[in-house]
Structure 1
Amino acid sequence: MSKRRTFTEEFKTMIAELVASGQSVKEVSREYSLSETAVRNWSKKKAPIKTEEGTISLEEINRIRKENARLKEENEILKKAMAIFTKKQIQI
């Protein structure tokens, strides 16, 4: 059984930039001994998406979504805590 290789984010970004600059997925995957699927996936995640305000990558969108979910959860916890403290103050 072969050991699964791991790659740094910098390496993945470099590979995605090579594809974005015009090299084919097949060329890049062959040159760096990577699967075409990995190169395609990294390119997709790192590719800039044009918006009205500029550009953003799918990776950045996913990071923002995670942060948004975390903040929503924290907000719900604070709301529940406020409700508990408000009830306790009314009873005093």
Structure 2
Amino acid sequence: MGRTVKSYTEEYKNTIVELFNNGKTYKELNSEYGVPKSTIRQWVNKVEKRNDGTEEKENNIKEILKRDALLQEENEILKKALSIFAKAK
């Protein structure tokens, strides 16, 4: 038989994370709600990452790198065009 994957709502996840932040342990939450400790740990880490702005910073860096690559490509095209027009004179 295959393994069944449970799906939890965001509200449920946030409730579990809030309970953890209010002092409940992974073990207590696991026994009360039946959610694996590793799953709770992932939810807590995700919320902490979101709260410290790391995710937003990573997205900003990605956008800056995309923009930089585009500008470098445009500069190469302009250099080639300049060399073509310089030879024509």
* TM-score relative to the length of structure 1: 0.65
Name the SS for the 1:47 alignment partner. Answer: helix
Relative to total residues, which structure has the larger helix share, 1 or 2?
Answer: 2
1:64 corresponds to 2:75:
no
Q: How many residues align?
A: 83
Name the SS for the 2:34 alignment partner. Answer: coil
Cα shift at 1:19: 0.1
Q: Aligned residues: percent identity? A: 22
> What corresponds to 1:85 in structure 2?
78
Farther off after superposition, 1-10 or 26-35: 1-10
1:27 corresponds to 2:13:
no
Q: Which runs of 5+ in 2 are unaligned?
A: none
Relative to total residues, which structure has the larger strand share, 1 or 2?
Answer: 1
> What corresponds to 1:13 in structure 2?
14
Q: Distance in 1 between matches of 2:8 and 2:68?
A: 35
Q: Which runs of 5+ in 1 are unaligned?
A: 49-55
Larger Rg: 2
Q: Conserved in 2, the CA contact under 8 Å of 1:16 and 1:47?
A: no
The RMSD of aligned alpha carbons is: 2.5
Cα shift at 1:64: 2.3
> What corresponds to 1:3 in structure 2?
4
Q: Match for 2:64: what amino acid?
A: L
